[in-house]
Amino acid sequence: MDRRQQKTRQAIFNAFSSLLERKSFGNITVQEIIDEANVGRSTFYAHFETKDSLLKAMCTDIFQHVFSDDLGRESSHDFSHVGHDFEKEITHILYHLSDNRKNLKGLLSCDSGETFMGYFKGYLQEMFPSFIKKLHNASPPEYVLSMTICIFAETVRWWLAEHNEYTPEQIASYFMEYIS
């Protein structure tokens, strides 16, 4: 890929990320992104059709880093049998998420939430079903799955937005305690 494209793309990502720290997705204009990134108007639209496209691209980027080496490699893992591995896996992911703290805080505080959570849940749905089979009986499995994913997402949000003082290991244990 052309170096110029990379630089522009990164500049836009950085600008977007920086703005997300200050204001919510819905209140950010393309114009602001352009100004912050210091790129030409037409250049922005050459890269992204809309503000939503940018959001999606950014989510894809982040999740690729967070989940690639984990789930890609370990998708064959069956968490239903080895409970301890599951918590370790969660911890591992939390470490990755922590690296993206700056971006995630903005993305998690809804507005962008719908899109972001969509991606988030997409990945999580590959991890959780085999694990949650062990849990709860009377409630519909799809309900339990939805809640488990929601709780994980909210745990991450709670952690990154308000309680950075906890370690990934602690957060993982809180999460495990809550869903077990």
174 binds a copy of itself (CB under 8 A): yes
3 binds DNA (CB under 7 A): yes
Residues 137-156 that bind a copy of itself (CB under 8 A): 138-140, 143-144, 146-147, 150-151, 154-155
> Looking at residue 70, what DSSP letter applies?
I
Q: Which of 18, 24, 43, 173 is in the footprint of DNA by CB under 7 A?
A: 43
Q: Which of 2, 142, 162, 177 is in the footprint of DNA by CB under 7 A?
A: 2
Residue 29 or 180 with smaller CB distance to DNA: 29
Rg (the chain; Cα; Å): 18
177 binds a copy of itself (CB under 8 A): yes
Written as six digits, the tokens of 46 are 């050459």
Task: Name 164's Cβ contacts closer than 8 Å, sequence gap at least 6.
Answer: 101
Q: Select the span of 36-44, 56-64, 134-142, 169-177 touching DNA (CB under 7 A).
A: 36-44
Residue 44 or 120 with smaller CB distance to DNA: 44
**Size of site (CB under 8 A) for a copy of itself:** 27
Written as six digits, the tokens of 16 are 């977007």
Give me the sign of the Cα torsion angle 47, 50, 54, 57. Answer: negative
Q: At residue 105, what is the residue type?
A: K
Tokens 């949000």 found at: 157
Q: At residue 8, what is the residue type?
A: T
Tokens 């519909």 found at: 140
Residues in touch with DNA (CB under 7 A)? 2-5, 7-9, 29-32, 38-43, 45-47, 49-51
